[in-house]
Amino acid sequence: MQHRIIPGTDVSLSLLAFGNFIFGTNWWGDFTDEEGVALQNKAYDRGVTFFDTAPAYGNGRAEGLIADTIKYAGRDNLTISTKFGYDVYQDPGEAGGHRERKQDFSGKFIRFDLETSLKRMGIDCIDLYQAHNLKLPQFNDEMFETLEALKAEGKIKSWGVALGPAIGWREEGVQSFLDHDAATVQTVYNLYEQAPGREFCEVAHQRARGGIIARVPTNSGILDEEFKSPDHKFPEWDHRKFRDRDWLVYGLKKNDIIRPIAHETGLSIRQLAIKWLASQPGVVSIEPNIVSEEDLDEYASACDGTVLPTEVLDELAKLYEDDFGLGDAAHPCDIKSSTAEAGSVRSGYQQPSSML
């Protein structure tokens, strides 16, 4: 397992991250507490040391499961991340629901949320504290001042922003780095959806500070080859039912195009996708949905530090720029925006406007 230091910090992340949001809802299946902890512990045994959780995942359940893995592995052997901003105490939501809940990014709530998380996990410091699905109108001086104060107090080592729940929010990521010196930006970033992750990587790489945590690295299951037909029907609880239909139809066609490339390099499609991400300057960790030991073993073997040949990276870049030769309908879905009048903009590379 390769490990990477977040530039500008002393925080080390395993290239493969274990995000235990899968235990906060039934979207990826139902896990008992014992099954969840066992899978987390197996991840540690396979070299994963970076565990990412949040109070919003099961209203504290996921953080509680991390506590058991901390006991198993030892606190000093792990890098622990949790998040803040969702007021699950006043607005707990509904189990399995898709509705966004009340958020609070005030200094008072951040401190309360942090102390509650520390208590749940039985630790006294968070290695990476992330603003959970923060939007541009919620940026405020009190939040950033509180985060820096918590660093000075030894309550957190570093902080970042986790963008979502969908893909986008380019301005939030760039400003978090350039204006506020965030340690990380977590975003949806994968071989088939490269904006705005590519821009975030460029900002982090050029300033030599901060890193990208790539979420949804297998394009919501497409690159896992989870789906066999463009007519696949999603159950009511599956969040992917909200995806544009072209995502599925053309995702399967893209898989047909890159499958020979993957096999020529001795990899599965999803392993190729993971190694592609690992090759992007600025990426410090990759966080897929790990729901089985098979997932864990295949992802972990792709995070050993070996790199894809340059000619493979060049071929993949050419395919992406041309929408894999499949036409405009195969273009990545629009990305969310806090500044665009319609709330979203066409996906596409944009040179960051303010580079250091």
**Percent of the chain whose predicted confidence (pLDDT) is above 90:** 85
Extract the tokens encoding 145. 């001042």
Q: Evaluate whether residue 26 is within a structural domain.
A: yes
Q: Evaluate whether residue 351 is within a structural domain.
A: no
- State if pTM tops 0.75: yes
All residues at 6 or more sequence positions from 218 whose CB lies less than 8 Å from its CB, including other chains: 190, 224, 270, 273, 274, 288, 289
Q: Evaluate whether residue 97 is within a structural domain.
A: yes
Counted domains in the chain: 1
Q: Evaluate whether residue 109 is within a structural domain.
A: yes
Q: Evaluate whether residue 331 is within a structural domain.
A: yes
Q: Evaluate whether residue 354 is within a structural domain.
A: no
Q: What is the pLDDT of residues 52-100, one digit of tens each?
A: 999 998 887 999 999 999 999 999 999 999 999 998 888 677 765 656 7
Q: What is the mean pLDDT of residues 93-115?
A: 85
Q: What is the pLDDT of residue 140?
A: 97
> How much of the chain is helix, strand and coil, in % rounded to 5?
40, 15, 45
Whether residue 213 is predicted with pLDDT greater than 80 in this model: the reply is yes
Q: What is the pLDDT of residues 217-239, one digit of tens each?
A: 999 999 999 999 999 988 877 87
Most confident stretch, 30-39, 45-54, 98-107: 45-54
Q: Judging by DSSP bridges, how do beta strands 12-14 and 3-5 pair with one another?
A: antiparallel
Q: Which CATH number characterizes residue 187's domain?
A: 3.20.20.100
Q: Evaluate whether residue 356 is within a structural domain.
A: no
Q: What is the pLDDT of residue 27?
A: 67
